[in-house]
Amino acid sequence: MESIHIHEPPFHQPPFGGFREPRRKRNPEFTKEDILVVKEKVNTFLKWLSSIKITVILIFYIVILCIIGTIFPQGSVNSDILGHSRNIHIPDLLSPYKIFNSIWLIAAGLCLCLNMILCMRRKLKLKKRNIQILLMHGGLLFIMAGYALGSLGTDGFMQIPEGEKVSEVLLKDGSMKHLGFSIRCDSFTVEHYDNGTPKEYTSNISFLDNDLFSGQRQLRVNHPAHYSGFTFYQQSYSQSFSAKISVASGERKKEFKVKPGDIIQLSPGVQATVLKIWDNLMNAGPAVKFSVNDNSGEKVIWVFKNIKEMRGNIPEFFGRMPHFDPSRLYSFIVVLEGLETVHITGIGVRQDPGIYLAGAGGFLFFISLLFLFSDPLVGRAILSKSGGKDRHWSKKEVS
């Protein structure tokens, strides 16, 4: 079986220690002999680094890291597996919650790359080299390089309420990135099957360059859109409410349409900030929570839509808790007329400069794997009896 040599050549020398010589007096100048010894040691070390044994060790090391990474929920620094919050601060380097970006995995990946490159270099020197195996490992290197390059790209998320526009993306690390254009959610719809399970989520979005319309796209799950080098994905959706509020003081009546965060003038000198809107608070129906600022200071009040029924059901409650019936606190009357549902579409925003490299690597890997398997010579070479360490293992064999 001389045709193709893909076995690990037998390798008996330990990396170091096989050349131990009696200690000599240190000589400041290297002799030719010294250089030869160093060269040989380096060669032996490189050979050891390129061996399949190291490959297997590295693979299992990465496997263990991956297992740790799936046991500990990644990214959640402040909670353990059971969801308890913890106050102990673990440095990122050692944190089991950030395995996949940790120095341990990156170092292992780099070692594996080095191992592959050295192994490929060794195989290239052989007279009969096997091109499929070289291409396969080259493909893996491409994938890893592409993945590393991807970390230079953008991976973010934006939430756009229907009818509004947003120009900043929330990145994974919590920071915001300005896109240079803004995106408006024209409409968001959810379709359902007859049995109630969701069928399709659709966002119609417009791109605005300096507030000028510059493009329109439709996003659905599995149907992303591209614009200006970024790719946009339908990722999630949520709902919020806007409330119709009316304020009556004497004969005058004012109406507002508010959402959380809005500030309104209830009466001269009295300002209210909308804190939260519920469609059903404590089973009492729609409610709005305000923070009200007047001369006497700041108060938090709740305005219920069904306040009349509640007064009838639990009359003594509001005597004790006037914050839940603000007409007892102020001269004006605040009424929650109704709620409107606002859809908020959640859009993933991505830009990955490494994707083509990784894709090419994946393609190369798979094609050469197919050729490797279909090459009868390789199969025969692998299956031949003259395996590298056969003799070594045969001692352990139970026959």
- The footprint of other proteins (CB under 8 A) covers 6-8, 52-53, 55-56, 59-60, 62-63, 66-67, 69-71, 73-74, 100, 147, 155, 193, 195, 197-201, 220-224, 231, 233, 235, 348-350, 352, 355, 358-359, 362, 365-366, 369-370, 373, 379, 382-383, 385-390, 393, 396-399
Look at residues 76, 75, 140 and name the one whose alpha carbon lies nearest to residue 101: 75
Instruction: Please state the closest distance from residue 337 (CB atom) to other proteins, in A.
Output: 35
Look at residues 365, 361, 346 and name the one whose alpha carbon lies nearest to residue 150: 361
Look at residues 340, 339, 345 and name the one whose alpha carbon lies nearest to residue 162: 345
Of 101 and 246, nearer to other proteins (C-beta) is 101
Here the tokens at position 38 are 């160093």
Of 147 and 278, nearer to other proteins (C-beta) is 147
Instruction: Please state the closest distance from residue 262 (CB atom) to other proteins, in A.
Output: 33
Check if the beta carbon of residue 311 is closer than 8 Å to that of residue 318: yes
User: How wide is the angle at C-alpha 189 spanned by C-alphas 212 and 213, nearest 5°?
Assistant: 5
Instruction: Please state the closest distance from residue 289 (CB atom) to other proteins, in A.
Output: 31
Of 317 and 373, nearer to other proteins (C-beta) is 373
Instruction: Please state the closest distance from residue 332 (CB atom) to other proteins, in A.
Output: 47
Here the tokens at position 36 are 């030869």
Pairwise CA distance, residues 219 & 232, whole Å: 8
Of 178 and 395, nearer to other proteins (C-beta) is 395
Terminal C-alpha separation, the chain: 26
Instruction: Please state the closest distance from residue 342 (CB atom) to other proteins, in A.
Output: 21
Pairwise CA distance, residues 71 & 50, whole Å: 32
Of 117 and 369, nearer to other proteins (C-beta) is 369
| Helices H / strands E in the chain, number of each | 9, 13
Neighbours of 10 (CB within 10 A): 11
Beta-carbon contacts of 125 under 8 Å, excluding residues fewer than 6 positions away, are none
Helix 103-125 vs helix 52-71: crossing angle, to nearest 10: 160
| Residue 216: strand pairing partners | 206
Check if the beta carbon of residue 291 is closer than 8 Å to that of residue 298: yes
Beta-carbon contacts of 290 under 8 Å, excluding residues fewer than 6 positions away, are 272, 273, 274, 275, 300, 301, 302, 303, 334
Of 278 and 371, nearer to other proteins (C-beta) is 371
Instruction: Please state the closest distance from residue 6 (CB atom) to other proteins, in A.
Output: 6
Instruction: Please state the closest distance from residue 221 (CB atom) to other proteins, in A.
Output: 4
Check if the beta carbon of residue 44 is closer than 8 Å to that of residue 13: yes
Of 338 and 379, nearer to other proteins (C-beta) is 379
Instruction: Please state the closest distance from residue 92 (CB atom) to other proteins, in A.
Output: 16
Of 154 and 206, nearer to other proteins (C-beta) is 154
